[in-house]
Amino acid sequence: PENFHLVGNTRSKATISPTPPSMKRTLPAESNKQDKQTINVDADETNEDERTERRLNWTKDEDIRLATAWLRNSKDPVDGNDRKADQYWGMRNRNQLKIRWDRVKKPVMDFHGCWVKTNKVYRSGVSDDQLMEITEKMYASEHSDKDFMLKHFWKVVKNERKWSAYVKKEQEKEKNKGATNKPAEVVNLEDNPDIRPMGHKKAKNELYGKKKTPEAYSSISEKLDKFIEVSMVARKDRAKMAETQKILANSKIEAARLNDEAAEKQLKCKMLDTYRELLLATTTDMILML
């Protein structure tokens, strides 16, 4: 009886469920290695006991491996980079890696756009460190003074053709959707998307006085001042033209007068020469001349 608790007692077995696949993150080796083995992104210097299964923070090493894995798969000459999401992430834990990629690609694209702008504006006379500092300030100014924390990720993809093509493709998607968010710019860096042109109706209302706003009055006043200024300049130009024409006319009159005086003097001189010859001639010469 004292051992009654051992009789017929079913021994409970502790069941250990395997780690769900969604809690593992594995990535392939770096692109410069030839083997196809996968790499456990959790295999870093951190103690495994300290890393919880529901940890959300990613280390820089994990981000670099994720970017390298993306580039490596996109450079596959057989499969290419046009695979669906399920196929692309099939060789790893699809959910965690895809979620991470979707979270980091937008800020990385925005920072890349700022970097391209900086390099186009400061073509020479600026060091790489200064360019990076300017780029970081530009990114912070466009993102509520938030610093860019994924520089390690961006350095892996910034010079890759696949990345440039991907950014361009994402821009086209945003353009087709008519999204208002500003995508990262690669080529065109001179436009200012924050300043929108005046709409057709608003322009007509201000022109015909249907909307008497302070801005409208200011615009009309500026246009009036500009018109008066142009009119005064045109009036001065016309006055100068009339004065020039008057001077030319006076010059012609003076030239004609001088010509007349010269002709008259020439005639007088000729008459004097003839009279002198007559006075000096003898009587015989005069008879012969007659």
In a domain, 142, yes or no: yes
Q: What is the total count of domains within the chain?
A: 2
* Predicted pLDDT of residue 140: 92
* Predicted pLDDT of residue 180: 54
140 plus 277 within the same structural domain: no
85 plus 30 within the same structural domain: yes
* Predicted pLDDT of residue 249: 85
Q: Is the pTM of this model over 0.75?
A: no
155 plus 52 within the same structural domain: yes
Last residue of a domain, one of 177, 194, 225: 177
Question: Containing domain of residue 231, as a range?
Answer: 202-289
In a domain, 184, yes or no: no
In a domain, 197, yes or no: no
In a domain, 196, yes or no: no
* Predicted pLDDT of residue 32: 44
171 plus 240 within the same structural domain: no
225 plus 103 within the same structural domain: no
In a domain, 278, yes or no: yes
Partner residues linked to 38 by β-bridges: 28
154 plus 256 within the same structural domain: no
150 plus 261 within the same structural domain: no
77 plus 126 within the same structural domain: yes
117 plus 55 within the same structural domain: yes
* Predicted pLDDT of residue 139: 92
Q: Which residues of the chain register pLDDT less than 50?
A: 1-54, 76, 78, 89-92, 187, 189-193
Tokens of 174: 């945003």
159 plus 233 within the same structural domain: no
125 plus 255 within the same structural domain: no
242 plus 158 within the same structural domain: no
> What is the rounded distance in angstroms from the CA atom of residue 106 to the CA atom of residue 22?
24
* Predicted pLDDT of residue 19: 45
In a domain, 285, yes or no: yes
Three-state secondary structure string covering the chain = CCCHHHCCCCCCCCCCCCCCHHHCCEEECCCCCCCCCEEECCCCCCCHHHCCCCCCCCCHHHHHHHHHHHHHHHCCCCCCCCCCHHHHCCCCCHHHHHHHHHHHHHHHHHHHHHHHHHHHHCCCCCCHHHHHHHHHHHHHHHCCCCCCCCHHHHHHHCCCHHHHHHHHHHHHHHHHHCCCCCCCCCCCCCCCCCCCCCCHHHHHHHHCCCCCCHHHHHHHHHHHHHHHHHHHHHHHHHHHHHHHHHHHHHHHHHHHHHHHHHHHHHHHHHHHHHHHHHHHCCHHHHHHHC
